[in-house]
Structure 1
Amino acid sequence: MSEVHDSPTGWVARHIREYVESGGERGHRKWGVNTLLLTVRGRVSGKLRRTALIYGADGPGRYVVVGSNGGLAAHPAWYLNLLADPQADVQVGQDGFPARAAEADGADRERLWQMMTRLWPQYDVYQTKLPDRRIPVIVLERTGTPP
Structure 2
Amino acid sequence: MAGHGVRLVRKVSSTRAFAKVAPHVIPVFDRTVHRLTRGRVLPSALMLPGVILTARGARTGQPRRTPLACMPEEGGSWILVGSNFGRPGHPAWTANLLRHPDAEISWQGRDIVVRARLLEGPERESAWAAVLAFWPPYASYQARVERRIRLFRLEPDSRD
- When normalised by structure 2's length, the TM-score is 0.78
Amino acid at match of 2:67: A
Contact 2:101 2:116 in 1 (8 A): yes
Matched residues in 2 for 1:29 and 1:73: separation? 22
Counterparts of 1:106-145 in structure 2, within 5 Å, are 106-130=121-145, 132-144=146-158
Aligned equivalent of 2:100, options 85, 107, 129: 85
Which moved further from structure 2: 67-76 or 57-66?
Answer: 57-66
Deviation of the 1:60 alpha carbon: 2.2
Matched residues in 2 for 1:10 and 1:58: separation? 27
Counterparts of 1:1-147 in structure 2, within 5 Å, are 9-27=24-42, 30-130=45-145, 132-144=146-158
Rg larger in structure: 2
Amino acid at match of 2:121: G
Matched residues in 2 for 1:24 and 1:144: separation? 23
- When normalised by structure 1's length, the TM-score is 0.84
Amino acid at match of 1:137: L
Question: Percent identity at matched positions?
Answer: 30
Question: Which residues of structure 1 form unaligned runs of 5+?
Answer: 1-7
Per residue, is there more helix in 1 or in 2?
A: 2
Per residue, is there more strand in 1 or in 2?
A: 1
Matched residues in 2 for 1:117 and 1:20: separation? 30
| Corresponding residue SS for 2:49 | strand
Contact 2:30 2:44 in 1 (8 A): no
Q: 1:136 to 1:117 in 2, by over 3 A?
A: same
Question: Which residues of structure 2 form unaligned runs of 5+?
Answer: 1-22
Which moved further from structure 2: 23-32 or 79-88?
Answer: 23-32
Deviation of the 1:25 alpha carbon: 2.5
Deviations 1:38-86 (A, max 9, x none): 0111111221111111111222221101001111111110000111110
